[in-house]
Amino acid sequence: MSVERTPRPAQTELDDADRRIVNRLQAGLPLVASPYAAVAAELALSEGELLYRLERLLEAGVLSRFGPMYHAERLGGGLTLAALAVPEADFERVSVLVNAFPEVAHNYRREHRLNMWFVLATETLERIAEVIGEIETVTGLAVFNMPKQEEFHVRLHLPV
């Protein structure tokens, strides 16, 4: 399960229940018939309240994404890390263009000559090269493709 966090707007205050939700869901959902109900019970909330709070946290930008993580290659798809060297004056424009591709799973700013890094997840391995070509066409910039050579599992938990 992936729960990404973005800097939250100053006006969004997290209460104890919000913090417990974010902390708990970073460990994933249980594989049961009603996973949200099970997590809600763990947190002493109703399922409706849990779902309402998740929606509110997403809308407020506290969470940027809430959803499952799939192993694209095992499903027959393609996955790669890519980067761009974006002129600072064009960063926001290029970010909008790159993020418009449904295959872009994550997009991050980096303090480096290659200052925009993103993950591409496609339905087929061949589609990676096609999407890279399309991104190069719409941005006018060269995409640096860095396919995985070795897999590491790093469990990242960011307590709130």
Query: Per-residue pLDDT tens for 96-148?
Result: 999 999 999 889 999 999 999 999 999 999 999 999 999 999 999 999 999 98
For the entire predicted model, the pTM comes to 0.61
Contact between 160 and 14 (Cβ < 8 Å): yes
User: Does position 9 have pLDDT exceeding 50, yes or no?
Assistant: no
CA pair distance 131, 126, nearest whole angstrom: 9
Query: Per-residue pLDDT tens for 42-100?
Result: 999 999 999 999 999 999 888 877 777 767 677 888 999 999 999 999 999 999 999 99
Contact between 112 and 95 (Cβ < 8 Å): no
* pLDDT (0 to 100) of residue 91: 97
Confidence of residue 1 (pLDDT cuts 50, 70, 90): very low
> Strand pairing partners for 81?
119, 146
* pLDDT (0 to 100) of residue 151: 78
Q: Which residue has the tokens 């990242």?
A: 156
Contact between 50 and 39 (Cβ < 8 Å): yes
User: Does position 6 have pLDDT exceeding 70, yes or no?
Assistant: no
Q: Which residue has the tokens 């399960």?
A: 1
